[in-house]
Each structure stands twice: as structure tokens, then as C-alpha cells.
Chains A and B, each alone.
Chain A
Amino acid sequence: MEKVGQTLIIRYKGEIDMSVSGNIKDAIDREMDKERTKNLIINFKHVEFIDSSGLGMLLGRYKFVTIRSGKVAVTGANEVVHRLLDLSGLYSLMKPYKNERLALRALGEEVLA
């Protein structure tokens, strides 16, 4: 995890199912509760798999972030993760960007050229 301005970036490595989604939820919420953390970027570059437990956890984080008037962006999804984000309708809540830098810029963070 990394914090840039008011945005938390999470880079999980592995498969997201019910055995880990609770821990990921707790870790994100704990960081988001820290001062001046508003937005969330989820980088899926090293996520090989996700199922509806993981997607449900993401929906919950979306609600958590939007209550604090923040935004959620995603990047790096491989084919299977991309397909599930699309089918579940999550892309209508969290916009995909080509990379972290573009996502950060869209969220209003200053990014060095």
C-alpha cells in the first residue's frame, strides 16, 4: 500500500476470494480511516483471480469511500479480473485507468511528469 496525497493505492498480490477478502477489507478501511485519506486506487496487476466474494468486498469499499466523498479507481486488471469487474457492473462505480499515474491524475493528485 502507498499513499499519494489524499489517495491510498493498494497493490494486492494473489487471488482474491473469501479466504482473504476480510483481511483486505480491514487493511483498506484501517488506512482509509487515517487522516486525509479520501480516494482509493486498486491496482490489480498482481491479482490472478477474483470471485464474487472479492467483488462484494470491493463494492463495500466503494460505499465506504463514497460516504467520505472520495472516489475509487482501478488499474492493471488482467483478462479474467477485467471480465468480472465488467460483468458485475463495478466498472460503473470505479473507473478503470491504464496505469496508476493516470488514475492519480484523474483523482486530482499532483503527479510528476
Chain B
Amino acid sequence: MSKVNRVKMQFPSHPENVSLARVVVATMMSSLDFTLTNLDDVKVAVSEAVSNSIMHGYQNESNGLIDLTIAVDGNGLEVIVEDRGQGIVDIEKAMEASYSTEPDRMGLGFVFMQSFMDELEVLSEVGKGTRVRLYKSVPQLQRSLQ
């Protein structure tokens, strides 16, 4: 039977909390039959989403709030990262490879989220905030063995 679990947490936009988000998501994933590569993929995607909220949403100010919602059932994992930061002016452009608003950044955040997850949805409103939804399915083979 597929057990459903859902965790919701809120934390300030401190850079140290990026690793906290990774750890919580990785712990939630361990209850499902994900591969180690899946685990690494999701950790990178979550790291990118939370870093984006801190760096772009809140412009590296640590007094913003980030909502992280993680839900698992037998089929997969859903992660939602929400901020009430400045929002993204042009989502399509922001999602392009090598588009970055700052030097020494590679503009790979959304590229990694897209290539490492099965689903990526970005909703953003300028001046209101950004909501990123990530989804990863448990590999088919693993599922059929359950």
C-alpha cells in the first residue's frame, strides 16, 4: 500500500538552510524506492530552488521566509518551494541555460531542476513571490517489484 506523508516547514532565507532543505527532502525520499542517483538528482534540484529564493527572491537578505512542502506517496515525491520575494520578471528567460543576472553564476539553476526532475512548474508574480513545484516519480522497475 502506498503510504502518504506530507511535511510542511517554514524557515528564514539563511544560506545555511539550503542544506537543511536537502536533508529533510532526502530523509522523506528514503521511505520510497528511489535509487541513489534519484536521491542526488533531487538534492541538487531542491538546492537550486531554495538558493534561487534566497538569492533572487530575497536578494540575499536573510529576513525572508521560505515555505517548503514535501509530500510522498507510493508513486513519487513532490516538493514545493515558495517565497514572498521579488518574483521573476520573465520566467521563460530565467529558465534558459546560461541566463544569470549575476557574474560568477552559471544560470544553471532551472536547467538542473528541469533535467533532474520529472516535472517542474514555476509560478511567479513580480513583487509577490515565486512558487516552484518539483516532482519525481519512483522508477517503474522499482515500483513493479513492490
Contact = CB atoms under 8 A, between A and B. Distances in A.
Given A18-B18, A56-B106, A88-B106, 20 more contacts: A15-B19, A18-B15, A18-B54, A19-B16, A49-B22, A49-B43, A51-B48, A52-B48, A52-B51, A52-B106, A52-B109, A52-B112, A53-B55, A55-B106, A63-B104, A79-B37, A80-B44, A83-B40, A87-B108, A88-B108
A80 B107 CA distance: 19
Given A15-B19, A19-B16, A60 B104 contact: yes
A107 interface: no
A49 B47 CA distance: 10
Interface of B: 14-16, 18-19, 22, 37, 40, 43-44, 47-48, 51, 54-55, 100, 103-109, 112, 115
Contacts of A52: 48, 51, 105-109, 112
A19 B44 CA distance: 14
Nearest to A63: B104
A17 B47 contact: yes
A102 interface: no
Contact of A51 (B37, B104, B107, B112): B112
11 contacts: A51-B44, A51-B112, A52-B51, A52-B105, A52-B109, A56-B104, A59-B104, A60-B104, A79-B37, A80-B40, A84-B112
B106 A59 contact: yes
A10 interface: no
Given A80-B40, A84-B44, A88-B108, A53 B51 contact: yes
